[in-house]
Amino acid sequence: MTDPRNGAPRTTPIQSATFSNPVNAEIRRAAATGIYDIRGGGAKRKLPHFDDLLFLGASMSRYPLEGYREKCETSVTLGTRFAKTPIQLDIPVTIAGMSFGSLSAPAKEALGRGATLAGTSTTTGDGGMTKEERGHSNKLVYQYLPSRYGMNPDDLRRADAIEIVVGQGAKPGGGGMLLGQKISDRVAEMRNLPKGIDQRSACRHPDWTGPDDLEIKILELREITGWKVPIYIKVGGARPYFDTTLAVKAGADVVVLDGMQGGTAATQDVFIEHVGQPILACIGEAVRALQDLGLHREVQLVVSGGIRSGADVAKAMALGADAVSIGTAALIALGDNDPRWEAEYNALGTTAGAYDDWHEGQDPAGITTQDPELMRRFDPVEGGRRLNNYLRVMTLEAQTIARACGKNHLHNLEPEDLCALTMEAAAMAKIPLAGTDWYPGKPGTSY
């Protein structure tokens, strides 16, 4: 480039890496509106993740199983510590808690249908248990949340497990909100609030503070349900070693650990992107806590936050998880963010794959909405079929990898089956960097 006036070379324009175009656009948006951005989903920034791990596979020192025929079990039992009737699942991929209110009733029904076909569990959410969801879910986990919207002892006793939600990966330390445009008559009735107002979900439970209180709360829940069903404690990826230790101390049968890639229906973008840890950094710490307590595998660990494929499932389990949970991926399987609705996404100022204004209730796919017209676009039977297909593929993929590592059960995958591609992943997951036997912070090394 030259100056047209005198032909002298010009300085090349350089965009700032710090003040990038998207950053500047957000500054202009904030300056124009005076309001912070609220959106759904989980962290969109690039994070150390399961993609930064690889399986080594079998070779001279490992004996593989035949890829298509030899048995490779996938079942998992959750809640063996105290519950009289633990949950038996055919596959170690469960459906995470998502509320009726944030999702439509047909979408919740589809999650139940798909999970049941695949032999796994689904989970309620803030807003209570719908009859569609209970009716179509063979195994249903009932979330016990700070808001207690729709909470009642009858539904508690109808549940196959209870999940006490202390936090979630998208917003550890934060509550939730459901904006007025999604508060239909039915949603309002279930939450005991007027129609059309913004509903806030508290960030703290109303009747206990701290793990000592929680231990007594769990006693009450077990007394009410006759000690039959497992009690999970769900925490966001904040301080996984101590959170897991305290959850176990409080009496959990199962610890559910959600990394910052885990989605939410609506929270401030600044919260989603800047609070919490990626799930890769959390699993090892939670497993270490369980091992230190001598309870690894006795208290089961379910992890979530960015699980997309059978490879992710296998990697999470190799790191020590007993099962995983999916939310965002399940919604995509149902049809969320599908390019078939591109014209409508464009009309909303976005594009397929980037649509995250779930709180506004205008989802063209009819999933994250309470608009009757949009909801009609979504067929819960077809949605359930698609989710089942997806869960089956994930399971087959995980089995393929496990067999290649010589494992006849997904639970037999182990850290020694993995290597890390980056220093960050090696340090976070405590898995040796590829081509070495070392990871940062490895005991016995000085760095």
Partner 1 sequence: MQTLDMAEVALREMNATLHAQAETSNQTTWEILNPKGAHAIACGLDAPIEVTVKGSTGYYCGGMNKQATIHIKGSAGPGVAENMMSGTVVIEGDASQYAGATGHGGLLVIKGNASSRCGISMKGIDIVVHGNIGHMSAFMAQSGTLVVCGDAGEALGDSLYEARLFVRGSVKSLGADCIEKEMRPEHLALLADLLERAGATAKPEEFKRYGSARELYTFKIDNAY
Say whether residue 148 binds partner 1 (CB under 8 A).
Answer: yes
Tell me the residue length of the chain: 447
Which contiguous run of DSSP H or E holds residue 101?
none
How far is CA 51 from each of CA 219, 304, 400, rounded to the nearest angstrom? 40, 15, 17
Residues 224-263 that bind partner 1 (CB under 8 A): 224-227
Considering only 156, 203, 421, 427, the residue that binds partner 1 (CB under 8 A) is 156
Q: What is the rounded distance in angstroms from the CA atom of residue 99 to the CA atom of residue 162?
A: 15
By the rule CB under 8 A, 360 interacts with partner 1 = no
Query: Cα separation of 208 and 205, whole Å?
Result: 6
Q: Which of 198, 344, 371, 424 binds partner 1 (CB under 8 A)?
A: 198
User: Residue 11, interface with partner 1 (CB under 8 A)?
Assistant: no
Of these, 50, 100, 142, 208, which contacts partner 1 (CB under 8 A)?
A: 208
Nearest approach in angstroms of CB 428 to partner 1 is 33
Cβ contact 164:216 at 8 Å = no
Closest to partner 1 by CB, 220 vs 416, is 220
CA distance 412 to 373: 48
Residue identified by tokens 């404690």 is: 233
Q: Which of 152, 346, 351, 436 binds partner 1 (CB under 8 A)?
A: 152
Question: Which helix (H) or strand (E) element contains residue 123?
Answer: strand 122-123
Q: Which of 54, 58, 117, 151 binds partner 1 (CB under 8 A)?
A: 151
Using only C-alpha atoms, what is the Rg of the chain?
Answer: 23
Q: Which stretch binds partner 1 (CB under 8 A): 162-170, 200-208, 229-237, 402-410?
A: 200-208
Of residues 77 through 136, those in contact with partner 1 by CB under 8 A are: none
Q: Which of 185, 189, 207, 298 binds partner 1 (CB under 8 A)?
A: 207
Among 56, 58, 193, 293, contact with partner 1 (rule: CB under 8 A): 193
220 forms part of the interface with partner 1 (CB under 8 A) = yes
Phi, psi for residue 409 in degrees, rounded to 5: -150, 140
414 Cβ contact list (under 8 Å, min separation 6): 318
- Asked if residue 180 binds partner 1 (CB under 8 A), the reply is yes
CA distance 293 to 196: 48
Q: Is 186 in the site for partner 1 (CB under 8 A)?
A: no
179 is an interface residue for partner 1 by CB under 8 A? yes
- Name the residue nearer to partner 1 (CB basis): 71 or 200: 200
Give the integer Cα–Cα distance in Å for 265 and 374. 17
User: Which of these segments, 107-115, 207-215, 304-312, 377-385, binds partner 1 (CB under 8 A)?
Assistant: 207-215
| CA dist., res. 236 & res. 277, Å (int) | 8
3 state SS of 427: helix
Contacts with partner 1: how many residues (CB under 8 A)? 34
User: How far, CA to CA in Å, does 401 sit from each of 58, 370, 433?
Assistant: 10, 40, 20
For position 36 contacting partner 1 by CB under 8 A, the verdict is: yes
Tokens representing residue 54 in the block: 């690889």
Is residue 48 helix, strand or coil?
coil
Least distance between partner 1 and beta carbon 196 (Å):
9
Cβ proximity to partner 1: between 214 and 254 the closer is 214
Which chain residues interact with partner 1 by CB under 8 A?
Answer: 34-36, 38, 147-148, 151-153, 156, 177, 179-180, 191-194, 197-198, 200, 202, 206-208, 213, 216-217, 219-220, 223-227
